[in-house]
Amino acid sequence: MKQNSLIKGKVHYVGVNDRNKHLFEGMWPLPYGVSYNSYLIDDEKITLIDTVDINFFEVYLQKIQNVIGDRPIDYLIINHMEPDHSGSIRLIKQHYPNIKLVGNKLTFGMVQGYYGLAEDQHIVKDGDTLDLGYHKLTFHMTPMVHWPETMMTFDSAENILFAGDAFGCFGTLNGGFLDTRINTDIYWDEMVRYYSNIVGKYGSPVQRALQKLAGLSISTICSTHGPVWTENIGKVVDIYDRLSRYEAEEGVVIAYGSMYGNTEQMAEVIAAELSAQGIKNIVMHNVSKSNPSYILADIFKYKGLIIGSPTYSNQIYPEIEALISKILIREIKVRYLGLFGSFTWAGAAVKRMGEFATQSGFEVIGSPVEMKQSMSASTYEQCQALGAQLAQRLIADRK
């Protein structure tokens, strides 16, 4: 049973899969589920790295005991305090009363706040080490990736980085946990969606973390969500690097709200002109149908963004307003923005979206298009012009 859990050397995978949860953080769909990863080092000092959601504790405990039997655990390293990873700390402490909790100063404020534990603490700082016998661990503080207490742990004996939520993705681990033993196709888009929705605001802290880790010889990345990365490390790091620099591909996301189809007609005309101008990557999202997690992922992926809204009670259409708020929260940078909208008797949405344009700092392309009631020849031409102008701005970036 040990062999099935073995990553390399004396390091074992003891994580669990959640195929029941519909929404991560109560917001983000999980069509492929999600894993909560925990790791066990079976050395002279037995060490557990992060825990799992409390709902899976019995399965989790059995996995731990399959590796170490009735032997005690010496250390629990807490890289991240989010409850899907720290939720089992109190129960682990009950089963292993002499276990010592390892974390930084901010970690233990949260440990006490969440779980009422204030004893058996070993506080570490950036660059501190912990000797387990064969394994030597070094701690690297990575604040705001994506909570203030987050840190990573590097095992120099096996060149393994225990990365917390960094380099993670949605999706359960079906059968195997090593990227060499499973088909990884589903994880790449889910990694972009995970980053965009969970980590997206913290591009600068991610960049600082990447710079800090650059000198390490990493052969394995053990994240708290998704596969254990070995042969795909370069691709994984590149995705996080590009997304945290807000680097985007040529393409356009058209996100619109439409109650009776008139604003949607405007979106169709704009998209058709983008295509006619040579833009192939065009993604259209009706915000009443598309979950915002997929829209945000596409906005992180593509450089052009065109938003359309009908006026609703003299305001922006509510689902568009919610999307705009999510974009601003993530502080996405370096995008080209176009705006359009419609109204029946008094237009307000386009004007109010102009405030978003200013707040976002995006480069506004062309003139916003506002349609009264339904499509006219003049509106058709304005929509075409907006599509053409954004297309030419993207084409100008080609090298």
**Boundary of a domain, candidates 198, 215, 244:** 244
Residue 213 shares a structural domain with residue 297: no
Residue 234 shares a structural domain with residue 297: no
pLDDT value of residue 346: 82
Residue 336 shares a structural domain with residue 261: yes
The total domain count for the chain is 2
Query: In CATH, what number is assigned to the domain containing residue 26?
Result: 3.60.15.10
Task: Evaluate whether residue 326 is within a structural domain.
Answer: yes
Instruction: Kindly state the average pLDDT of the residues 28-55.
Output: 98
Task: Evaluate whether residue 120 is within a structural domain.
Answer: yes
d(CA 270, CA 276): 10
Report DSSP letters for 288-309, one per residue.
TTS-HHHHHHHHHHEEEEEEEE
Question: What sign does the dihedral 121-127-131-132 (CA atoms) show?
Answer: positive
59-96 confidence digits (pLDDT tens): 999 999 999 999 999 999 999 999 999 999 999 999 99
**Boundary of a domain, candidates 186, 216, 244:** 244
Task: Evaluate whether residue 154 is within a structural domain.
Answer: yes
Q: Is 191 exposed, middle or buried (0-12, 13-18, 19+ CB in 10 A)?
A: buried
Domain that holds residue 376: 249-393
Q: What are phi and psi of 37, to 5 degrees?
A: -95, 135
**Boundary of a domain, candidates 212, 244, 276:** 244
Residue 71 shares a structural domain with residue 210: yes
Instruction: Kindly state the average pLDDT of the residues 105-122.
Output: 95
d(CA 107, CA 124): 10
pLDDT value of residue 172: 98
d(CA 236, CA 239): 5
Task: Evaluate whether residue 399 is within a structural domain.
Answer: no
208-231 confidence digits (pLDDT tens): 999 999 999 999 999 999 999 999
Residue 28 shares a structural domain with residue 153: yes
- pLDDT at residue 399 tops 90: no
Contact in structure between 249 and 193 (CB atoms under 8 Å): no
Task: Evaluate whether residue 43 is within a structural domain.
Answer: yes
Going by C-alpha positions, the residue among 248, 237, 146, 235 that lies closest to residue 197 is 146
- With residues binned 3-state (H G I as helix, E B as strand, rest as coil), the percentages for the chain, rounded to 5, are 35, 25, 40
Task: Evaluate whether residue 398 is within a structural domain.
Answer: no
- pLDDT at residue 2 tops 80: no
- pLDDT at residue 51 tops 60: yes
pLDDT value of residue 371: 86
Residue 208 shares a structural domain with residue 253: no
Residue 364 shares a structural domain with residue 302: yes
Residue 235 shares a structural domain with residue 301: no
Residue 125 shares a structural domain with residue 147: yes
- pLDDT at residue 26 tops 60: yes
Q: What are phi and psi of 7, to 5 degrees?
A: -90, -60
d(CA 56, CA 78): 18
Q: What is the CA radius of gyration of the chain?
A: 24
Task: Evaluate whether residue 339 is within a structural domain.
Answer: yes
- pLDDT at residue 3 tops 60: no
368-385 confidence digits (pLDDT tens): 999 899 989 999 999 999
% of the chain with per-residue pLDDT over 90? 95
- Count of CB atoms situated within 10 Å of the CB of 344: 12
Query: In CATH, what number is assigned to the domain containing residue 255?
Result: 3.40.50.360
Average pLDDT, the chain: 96
pLDDT value of residue 1: 44
Residue 229 shares a structural domain with residue 303: no
Task: Evaluate whether residue 148 is within a structural domain.
Answer: yes
Residue 163 shares a structural domain with residue 177: yes
- pLDDT at residue 294 tops 80: yes
- pLDDT at residue 304 tops 80: yes
Residue 254 shares a structural domain with residue 215: no
Q: Output the CA–CA distances (angstroms, integers) from residue 228 to 141, 162, 221, 344, in the order listed.
A: 21, 10, 6, 54
Q: At what angle do helices 349-360 and 318-330 cross, to 10 degrees?
A: 10
